[in-house]
């Protein structure tokens, strides 16, 4: 199972942490002619190989990179602006299936190497990574149909501040859940509500208020469920 967690972690790092918006835009514009597509697939193979750290895994790492390339290429050729949300989640589902298949093949081929970190630690690393950029991008696609169109001048807002606030709040909530500090979760929700109240009152925009409320609840929900999963799985 540790190798499976490492491969999943490699996917999160390669698909969300190391892939910039410029790369995504270049791939969508140039499709199969974009060099970023091929480097992106190679990065997945390289990261997986480094994390597993076993020479016997090389052909499986290359297999992961190849499958990732095929899935991403198919997505670029088939997706439309109207169905981009569905293709995003479908793309991620296919990547998870390919990771599972490669893991099953590798499991039947070799014994897992002895490593210095236990399974619980690898789960912690994986879930914390999931709550950062991957969760932010997933929420962006999930809320795309509800994003309000406002005429506000956002020049006074810090660049990408909302995204990083969301990441930090999910990490805080996850930490509070796994350390059994549920009262701190309630305090964090109350504190965010107080800070947001003034902005929402000034804006007088019901759609914006509902959008922020939905986004906040989903963000907290993801973090809470992730924390509960970690505690439940590691209590066995």
Number of domains in the chain: 2
In a domain, 94, yes or no: yes
Let me know whether 14 and 98 are in one domain: yes
Evaluate whether residue 202 is within a structural domain. Answer: yes
16 and 111 together in one domain: yes
> Within this chain, do residues 148 and 108 fall inside the same structural domain, yes or no?
no
Mean pLDDT (the chain) is: 84
What's the rounded Cα separation, in Å, for the pair 132 and 190?
22
Residue percentage of the chain with pLDDT more than 90? 43
Asked if residues 14 and 40 have their Cβ atoms less than 8 Å apart, the reply is yes
**Domain with 6 in it:** 2-115
Judgement on whether residues 111 and 14 belong to the same structural domain of the protein: yes
Mean pLDDT, to the nearest integer, of 43-50? 94
Q: Minimum mean pLDDT among 21-25, 89-93, 212-216, 223-227: which range?
A: 212-216
Q: Is the pLDDT of residue 155 over 60?
A: no
Q: What is the CA radius of gyration of the chain?
A: 20
Is the Cβ–Cβ distance between 72 and 37 less than 8 Å? yes
- The H or E element that residue 202 is part of is helix 182-203
Least confident of 43-47, 141-145, 149-153, 209-213: 149-153
92 and 6 co-located in one domain:
yes
Q: Is residue 131 part of a domain?
A: no
Residues 90 and 177 in one domain: no
Q: Do residues 108 and 151 share a domain?
A: no
The 10s digit of each residue's pLDDT in 6-41 is 999 999 999 988 888 899 999 989 999 999 999 999
One domain for residues 152 and 110: no
Spell out a b/e string for 116-136, using b for 16 or more CB atoms within 10 Å of the CB, else e. eeeeeebbbbbbbbbbbbbbb
Q: pLDDT band for 151, please (50, 70, 90 cuts).
A: low
Is residue 32 located within the same domain as residue 81? Answer: yes
Flag whether pLDDT at 197 surpasses 70. no
Q: Which of 47-61, 141-155, 183-197, 212-226 is predicted least confidently?
A: 141-155
178: left (phi over 0), alpha (psi -120 to 50) or beta: alpha
- Does residue 192 lie within any of the structural domains? yes
């Amino acid at each position: 199972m540790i190798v499976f967690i490492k491969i999943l972690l490699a996917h999160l790092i390669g698909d969300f942490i190391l892939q910039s918006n410029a790369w995504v835009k270049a791939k969508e514009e140039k499709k199969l002619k974009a060099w970023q597509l091929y480097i992106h697939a190679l990065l997945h193979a390289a990261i997986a190989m480094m994390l597993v750290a076993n020479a016997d895994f090389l052909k499986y790492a290359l297999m992961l990179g190849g499958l990732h390339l095929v899935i991403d290429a198919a997505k670029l050729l088939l997706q439309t602006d109207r169905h981009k949300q569905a293709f995003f989640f479908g793309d991620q589902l296919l990547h998870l299936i390919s990771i599972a298949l490669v893991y099953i093949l590798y499991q039947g081929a070799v014994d897992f190497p002895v490593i210095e970190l236990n399974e619980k630690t690898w789960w912690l690393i994986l879930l914390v990574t999931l709550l950062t950029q991957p969760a932010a991008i997933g929420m962006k696609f999930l809320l795309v149909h509800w994003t309000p169109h406002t005429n506000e001048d956002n020049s006074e807002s810090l660049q990408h501040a909302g995204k990083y606030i969301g990441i930090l709040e999910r990490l805080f909530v996850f930490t509070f859940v796994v350390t059994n500090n549920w009262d701190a979760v309630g305090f964090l929700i109350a504190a965010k509500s107080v800070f947001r109240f003034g902005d929402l009152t000034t804006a007088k925009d019901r759609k914006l208020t509902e959008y922020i409320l939905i986004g906040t609840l989903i963000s907290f929900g993801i973090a809470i469920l992730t924390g509960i999963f970690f505690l439940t799985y590691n209590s066995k």
